[in-house]
Amino acid sequence: MAAKPLVYVHGAGPQKPAGELRDELDQIVFGGKMTTTRVAHYANVRWPVAAPIGGRVPAGVGPSRQAAREKAISSAAKPHVSPKDAADKIVAATLAPGSRTGPTAGRTSGTAAGKASTSPTTADAREAAKLVEKLYREADRVAARSKSGRQVGGITFPDWVFRRVIGQFASDVVDYLYGEFTERMRAPVRKALLNGPAPRVLVAHSLGTIILYDVLSEPAFAGFDVQQLVTVGCPLGIGNVQNRLRDSAGRPNPVPGAVKAWTNFADRFDPVALDATLRDEFTPPKNFATDEEVNNPAKNNHDLTGYLAIEVVRSSIVAAVGQ
């Protein structure tokens, strides 16, 4: 039986080139390269490698802006910075005035490209800061529970690795949910789903689960037949995120009609998967997603390769693909 087409959707932060990333993930899951897999690669719209040879850095993500984001992420990772101050740093660097760059740069009134864009409002910035502060507070709690935080005088200080992970995720998710990159980040995901054999299996991580959910909710994908959606390190259960899905259409949020089965894996020390259960977050049908707690062996408990190396995660994907 031929292997079913599969699309990986990566998470937040800088990523390896699409081909290299696909080969790495294939090796972990299948033990070698596959001809039926591809990657929905959207990272370069926000994290370009310093100007690509023969190309150009996308508008709004040049060296100065990238440097500002990196500075904010590094500063927010320091143990003496409070979650509120960390959130303020991330949101200020991400939603900085003057970075709006064209007719499709901002959030749109719908899912199609080219519609009029709007800059984030003051209310949006406040909501973004609440979300990011919540993420940093959870990262610090996770570090304390996992004993990865630095102990000084009986006080546990935040773990730099956890905070660094949250910084990259928060910066990307703020720009997607509240900022200027909504459509730009959806476009590569949409293209990966449409350009090639229709995928029967989807594997999504981190911010990629949010973008994929929004894209699958578009009318163009109503006729897709996704036999298995696998999510890992998924933030779709977070209330602030739920409120912004489908261009802030509001809850309750439905399971995309194209998805026939959904398995969600979460590590309890993953600071991004704040709400580890999705079965009660999407309707109809109620209790659709199957949630499973796993132990990510990577030092960074949010790491995609660590999740895929877990036997129950790997075997579920292999079974869905038919290998």
- How far apart, in whole angstroms, are the C-alpha atoms of residue 211 and residue 256? 13
The one-character DSSP state at 106 is: S
Is the bond leading into 285 cis (omega within 30 degrees of zero)? yes
Domain annotation covers residue 1: no
Q: Identify the domain boundary among 157, 180, 203.
A: 180
Mean pLDDT in each 10-residue stretch from start to end of the chain (323 residues)? Answer: 93 95 98 97 82 44 73 93 96 72 40 48 92 93 67 50 91 94 96 96 98 97 96 96 94 95 96 92 91 93 96 98 85
Query: How many folded domains does the chain comprise?
Result: 2
Domain annotation covers residue 57: no
Residues 194 and 171 in one domain: no
Give the three-class secondary structure for 320.
helix
Domain annotation covers residue 190: yes
Residues 190 and 317 in one domain: yes
pLDDT at residue 2, as a whole number: 86
Residue 57 half-sphere exposure, CB side, CA atoms within 13 Å? 14
Residues 70 and 188 in one domain: no
Residues 203 and 271 in one domain: yes
Is the bond leading into 284 cis (omega within 30 degrees of zero)? yes
C-beta of residue 160 within 8 angstroms of C-beta of residue 3 = no
Task: Give the DSSP per-residue string, 216-278.
Answer: HTSGGGTT--BSEEEEES--TT-HHHHHHHHHHT-SSBPPPTTBS-EEEEEETT-SS-SS---
Domain annotation covers residue 59: no
- For residue 44, CA distances in Å to 8, 15, 59, 195 come to 16, 8, 12, 19
Residues paired with 204 in a beta bridge: 9, 231
- Assigned token pair, 17: 């080139």
Residues 192 and 270 in one domain: yes
Q: What CATH number is attached to the domain comprising 33? A: 3.40.50.1820
Domain annotation covers residue 152: yes
pLDDT at residue 63, as a whole number: 56
- Assigned token pair, 171: 């910066």
pLDDT at residue 250, as a whole number: 85
Residues 31 and 143 in one domain: no
Q: Identify the domain boundary among 148, 180, 212.
A: 180
Domain annotation covers residue 53: no
Q: Containing domain of residue 239, as a range?
A: 6-46+183-302+313-321
Residues 218 and 317 in one domain: yes
Residues 68 and 176 in one domain: yes
Residues 261 and 238 in one domain: yes
- How far apart, in whole angstroms, are the C-alpha atoms of residue 127 and residue 107? 15
Residues 119 and 204 in one domain: no
Residues 317 and 204 in one domain: yes
Residue whose C-alpha is closest to residue 105's, from 50, 171, 40, 179 = 179
Domain annotation covers residue 126: yes
- Assigned token pair, 81: 């910075």
Domain annotation covers residue 51: no
- How far apart, in whole angstroms, are the C-alpha atoms of residue 283 and residue 256? 9
Question: Which residue has 């802006």 as its token pair?
Answer: 65
Q: Phi and psi dihedrals of 75, rounded to 5? A: -65, -40
C-beta of residue 213 within 8 angstroms of C-beta of residue 61 = no
Residues 198 and 286 in one domain: yes
Q: Identify the domain boundary among 150, 180, 210.
A: 180
58-59-63-67 Cα dihedral, nearest 10 degrees: -110
